[in-house]
Amino acid sequence: MDTSFPYCDQFGPFKVIHLYEPSLPLKAALVVDNVALGPAIGGIRMAEDVTTEECFRLARAMTYKNAAAGLPHGGGKAVIWADPKMPPQRKQEVVRAFAQGLRNEESYVFAPDMGMDEQCMAWIRDEVGRVVGLPSELGGIPLDELGATGWGLSHAVEVIAGECGFPVAGARFVVQGFGAVGKHAARFLGDKGAVLVGASDSRGAIRNEQGLDVARLIALKQQGGSVVDYPDASAISADELIEIQCELWIPAARPDVINRANVGRLNTRAVIQGANIPCTPEAEALLHRRGVLCLPDFIGNAGGVICASMEYHGATQATAFEAIEEKILRNTEQMLAIMKAQSLLPRQAAESLAQTRLQRAMAYRRYSLFSTAPHFL
Ligand SMILES: NC(=O)C1=CN([C@@H]2O[C@H](COP(=O)(O)OP(=O)(O)OC[C@H]3O[C@@H](n4cnc5c(N)ncnc54)[C@H](OP(=O)(O)O)[C@@H]3O)[C@@H](O)[C@H]2O)C=CC1
Ligand SMILES: O=C(O)CCC(=O)C(=O)O
């Protein structure tokens, strides 16, 4: 096997680019997976322990997510090897250099992921344009500030809870990672009467079976604190979060956090994947065998990119939020229908949904993964 192309299959990746500038330093990678549907949209992740393999897996998740959501966009993702909590001036230099390094990569539309926010997107806009998730002052729909992904997840939960046979009101849930996705998912689920019984961030984890006050936790995070500063809860180890008895367990941070080593300790009826690729395929199969319904990332967490795509095409915030609700309800229901009709795992059913659309688009092209037409990208 040729090891220079370790990730290739029929869907991509179309391009893998490494960026390096020693004076900053800047180390980054961009994977443009598949642009048969249009220019790739996918977030930029800043973390010290990212890998090119993680970037490829995240880019593939975007290819499926954008296809399943019916967006005119392919999938891509970028990673920057750096501490997202570095001083703001330094972060600005790194992000601006990253944008400059990719200024001619028109097959990729920049967007936010972990460690990035509206401010970072504004710097990119200032350098090269071609960016979504902008502050509203620059005509954007600030998807992280508004909680576009949490909004979508809360609608997927309605369908999943119905399928599992429990009401959302009163359902106990746990959120791992209290950032843009996790905190807003908690807020929208709290509005439906669900009860947050455990939460974590990069500094630790807490639990309270009587319920955590979501608004108070969000205020704490906004002031720069951690969930561990919340007073009315027991501090637990990050690892213990997985054992809390609940109806919904929501990973909203890093990849592969549910894996062969810990999946047996999950004590939930459903896993709602707010994060991208939070479960290994083996863990998903084990959960399915145990009757725990696992909603795949690219079906449930598509709210952010639906919002991003609609911003790119000039829609308003209200229209974007309506589209998120409609698309996520529909996709979750369709995925369950395929899963039951064909006796598949949830992810297999979801992939079948996405791949059908992708294959149709690819069949229209001279080259399967991209188009050569002027202005196609
Ligand atoms: N933003 C979006 O719209 C979308 C995001 N996603 C995915 O959701 C996930 C989260 O993204 P997002 O919310 O934007 O990222 P953020 O950077 O806004 O938040 C990440 C959160 O995870 C916490 N965290 C980091 N490492 C750990 C860890 N090891 N254990 C527990 N918590 C941890 C952070 O802690 P601290 O607060 O202490 O830094 C923070 O609270 C990612 O997988 C992303 O790809 C998917 C779809 C759309
Ligand atoms: O949040 C965005 O705008 C980009 C979407 C994305 O990266 C994701 O869905 O993981």
Instruction: Judge if the beta carbon of residue 201 lies within 6 A of ligand 1.
Output: yes
Where b means 16+ CB within 10 Å and e means fewer, 353-362 reads: bbbebbeebb
Instruction: Give the per-residue pLDDT at 366.
Output: 84
> Is 148-303 a domain of CATH 3.40.50.720?
yes
Q: Among residues 159, 157, 225, 223, which one has the least CA distance to residue 186? A: 157
Non-local (6+) Cβ contacts of 346 within 8 A are 284, 288, 293, 294, 295, 296, 335, 336, 339
Q: What is the pLDDT of residue 147?
A: 96
Closest-approaching ligand to the CA atom of 218 = 1
What interface predicted TM-score (ipTM) does this complex get?
A: 0.98
Q: Which residues pair with 168 in a beta bridge?
A: none
| Cα 224 to Cα 84: distance, rounded to the nearest angstrom | 14
Residue 319 annotated as lining a ligand binding site:
no
The answer to whether the peptide bond before residue 87 is cis (omega within 30 degrees of 0) is no
CB atoms within 10 A of CB 272: 28
Closest ligand (CA of 301) = 1
19, β-bridge pairs: 28
**Lookup result for tokens 């090119």:** 52
pLDDT at 102 (0 to 100): 98
* Token pair in block for residue 141: 């729909």
Cα 178 to middle of ligand 1, angstroms: 7
Which uninterrupted H or E stretch holds 44? strand 40-47
Residue 21 CB coordination number (10 Å): 14
Place of tokens 């997985």: 242
Q: What is the pLDDT of residue 370?
A: 78
Listed in sequence order, the residues at least 6 apart from 166 whose beta carbon sits closer than 8 Å to its beta carbon are: 247, 269
pLDDT of residue 311: 92
> Residue 203: phi, psi to the nearest 5?
-100, -10
Best probe residue, ligand 1, of 113, 227, 301, 310 (max atoms within 8 Å of C-beta): 113
CB 166 within 8 A of CB 172: no
pLDDT at 67 (0 to 100): 97
What token pair was written down for 158?
């309605």
Q: How far is 3 from 51, CA to CA, in rounded Å?
A: 16
Interstrand relation of 40-47 and 15-21 (parallel, antiparallel or unpaired) = unpaired
Helix (H, G, I), strand (E, B) or coil at 200: strand
Do 1-63+75-140+348-377 and 148-303 come out as alike in CATH topology? yes
Q: What's the pLDDT at 377?
A: 63
What are the domain boundaries of the chain?
A: 1-63+75-140+348-377, 148-303
Active site residues: 77
Question: What are the mean pLDDT values of the chain's consecutive 10-residue runs (377 residues total)?
Answer: 78 96 97 94 97 96 97 97 98 98 95 95 96 94 94 98 98 97 98 98 97 98 97 96 98 97 98 98 97 98 96 94 98 98 98 95 85 70
The predicted pLDDT at position 233 comes to 97
Instruction: Assign domain 1-63+75-140+348-377 one CATH number from 3.50.50.60, 3.40.50.10860, 3.40.50.300, 2.30.29.30.
Output: 3.40.50.10860
> Ligand 1 centre and the CA of 142: distance in Å?
16
Non-local CB neighbours of 328 within 8 Å, separated by 6+ positions:
152, 153, 155, 156, 299, 300, 302, 303, 306
